[in-house]
Amino acid sequence: MRLWLQQLNEIEAPLCRAWATRSLERRWVYRPFVIVSRLGDGVFWYSLIAILPVVDGWDGLITGVHMLATSFVALVLYKSLKGTTRRERPCHFAAGITPGVPPLDRYSFPSGHTLQAVAFTTVALYYYPSLAVMLVPFTLLVAASRVVLGLHYPSDVLVATAIGLGLGLTSIALFG
């Protein structure tokens, strides 16, 4: 792992431990984040992509294809970054952090859930700005869930947000 990520781990691990402990103590807070995280695994986004052509025909199909293409680039990029940085998840690095859901892979940097959510939201809102009322809060909850559930450090989520936004905007500039 890179030295700067190791230093970030030392700074962020106590914060992650405190959040994870508080969340576990308050199940009414914890459970909704588990649900949001599971929906962020892809169910929510793929359902949206499937519904768009049904409700908006050809325009919905174009939007869905654009979202999927951006998602594919995001997947390749974040898997490459995770394999390169190999930053251990907080639940693997620091004692006292139990993951709220089983991690999908070993490494945390950047948050794939957050990167995908931001990229999907950016592209979807280009075509359907009225969906902001639903997509922006959901995306924020997905990002928060990754930290609350002990799966990511705050910096994983912040960097993923920037990358997802950049990918979304770039794909819009190229294909929108």
Domain locations along the chain: 20-175
Structure tokens at 72: 């594919």
What proportion of the chain, given as a percentage, has pLDDT over 90?
Answer: 52
Q: pLDDT tens-digit profile of 17-69?
A: 777 666 656 667 778 888 888 898 889 999 999 999 999 999 999 999 999 99
The DSSP secondary structure of 135-153, one letter per residue, reads HHHHHHHHHHHHHHTTS--
Only one residue has tokens 């251990």, namely 88
Of 39-48, 56-65, 146-155, 162-171, minimum mean pLDDT range: 146-155
pLDDT at 1 > cutoff 60: no
Please tell me which of 81-95, 99-113, 159-173 the model is most confident about, judged by mean pLDDT: 159-173
Q: pLDDT tens-digit profile of 90-126?
A: 877 766 677 677 777 788 889 999 999 999 999 999 9
**Does pTM surpass 0.85?**
yes
